[in-house]
Amino acid sequence: MTTEKILDVKDLYVIYRTDEMVCHALNGLSLYIDRGETLGLVGETGAGKTTLALSIMKLLPERIGFVEKGEIYLGDRNIMSCTSADMRLLRGETVSMIFQDPMSSLNPILTIGDQIAEVVELHSNLSKREIDNRVDEILGMVGLPASRKSEFPHQFSGGMQQRVVIAMALACEPQLLLADEPTTALDVTIQAQVLQLMKGLKKKLNTAMLLITHDLGVVAQMCDRVAIIYAGEIIEIGTVGDIFEGENHHPYTVGLFGSIPNIKEDSDRLHPIDGMMPDPANLPEGCKFHTRCTQCIKRCYTEAPRDYSLNSHTIKCHLMASIHGWETT
């Protein structure tokens, strides 16, 4: 089967600079997503998940967030050399983003029909009547009746608002969808509905997706591959099978899985990962996880591990590489 990279992030370094400090949010992060594929991005708060999505959209906070180094390709286009005008066209048409809180994406004083029409109008030469028909069609796609297009966001429930946001994000059938915790703000039954909807639409439109979440259950259900992020680096990446069923894992991944309750296990306590993520303004030498790792070896304190791979599975850990004799990539 031939694959085509829709997103290719290469050695990306992003900082947030204020008068007081420089925070190193992404530190040489690399990953790719193929056409139609879903990659889950999992990690703790502050690991760099949203910074990556904002970098891909070129929406880092002005005068604070900067790409220091690296490249981001959307298809064959390096967005590092795109102007603001280029990005306005790429957003919606090539890449779209869904945020956690639907109300942060919706304009409270415009009807939902007008908001969807605005997206379609910006990216097409359709007549007013054709745009109107397209709005009805898009609302139908996300299971909302066209008769509600003249209503305002506050007249919809949280789940319905997120459906409208998904409709806007997919209105121009982008090649890549960035979904940043898209169901975290919704209750559990609505979460399942929205995830099912996204899965169906993604398949129908063959859209690739970066699904940012801290919910490993959602990852297992939705993703083809999984990337684990820690302190601005991908420390493990592989297929869902590699991560959920494989035997070899980065110690941080082991800790992540260990901190989830297991209904089949008779246990009095959960096993959280001790310690905190390092201060991004003052990252440690060597492996960034060494301050919390229970399996440190001498070189972990001074030497940053490289990516070691076996087939589709890559881990950034000295110990795993030396035990299993994996190759450097």
Q: Residue 319, interface with ligand SF4 (CB under 6 A)?
A: yes
Nearest-approach distance from CB 123 to ligand SF4, in angstroms: 44
| Near ligand SF4 by CB under 6 A: residue from 287, 308, 314, 326 | 287
The interface with ligand SF4 within residues 241-280 (CB under 6 A) comprises 250-251
Q: Residue 296, interface with ligand SF4 (CB under 6 A)?
A: yes
Nearest-approach distance from CB 296 to ligand SF4, in angstroms: 4
Contacts of 217 (CB under 8 A, 6+ apart): none
Nearest to residue 296, comparing CAs of 260, 250, 329, 242? 250
Nearest-approach distance from CB 32 to ligand SF4, in angstroms: 23
Decide: 166 and 114 in contact? Cβ < 8 Å: no
Q: How far apart are the first and last CA of the chain?
A: 23
Report the C-alpha gap between 132 and 114 in whole angstroms: 9
Please choose, out of 86-94, 186-194, 208-216, 295-303, the segment that lies near ligand SF4 by the rule CB under 6 A.
Answer: 295-303
Nearest-approach distance from CB 219 to ligand SF4, in angstroms: 21
Nearest-approach distance from CB 286 to ligand SF4, in angstroms: 7
Decide: 102 and 162 in contact? Cβ < 8 Å: yes
Report the C-alpha gap between 257 and 15 in whole angstroms: 29
Q: Residue 171, interface with ligand SF4 (CB under 6 A)?
A: no
Please choose, out of 147-155, 210-218, 239-247, 283-291, the segment that lies near ligand SF4 by the rule CB under 6 A.
Answer: 283-291
Nearer to ligand SF4, 56 or 320 (CB): 320
How, if at all, do strands 308-310 and 313-315 pair?
antiparallel
Report the C-alpha gap between 162 and 67 in whole angstroms: 30
The interface with ligand SF4 within residues 297-316 (CB under 6 A) comprises 297, 300, 305
Applying CB under 6 A, what is the total number of residues that bind ligand SF4? 14
The site string for ligand SF4 over 131-150 (x = CB under 6 A, - otherwise) reads --------------------
> Strand, coil or helix: what is 157?
coil
Q: Residue 293, interface with ligand SF4 (CB under 6 A)?
A: yes
Report the C-alpha gap between 180 and 123 in whole angstroms: 23
Q: Residue 234, interface with ligand SF4 (CB under 6 A)?
A: no
Q: Residue 47, interface with ligand SF4 (CB under 6 A)?
A: no
Six-digit token pair at 253? 């991944």
Contacts of 13 (CB under 8 A, 6+ apart): 24, 26, 27, 28, 29, 67, 68, 69, 70
**Interacting residues toward ligand SF4 by CB under 6 A:** 250-251, 287, 289-290, 293, 295-297, 300, 305, 317-319
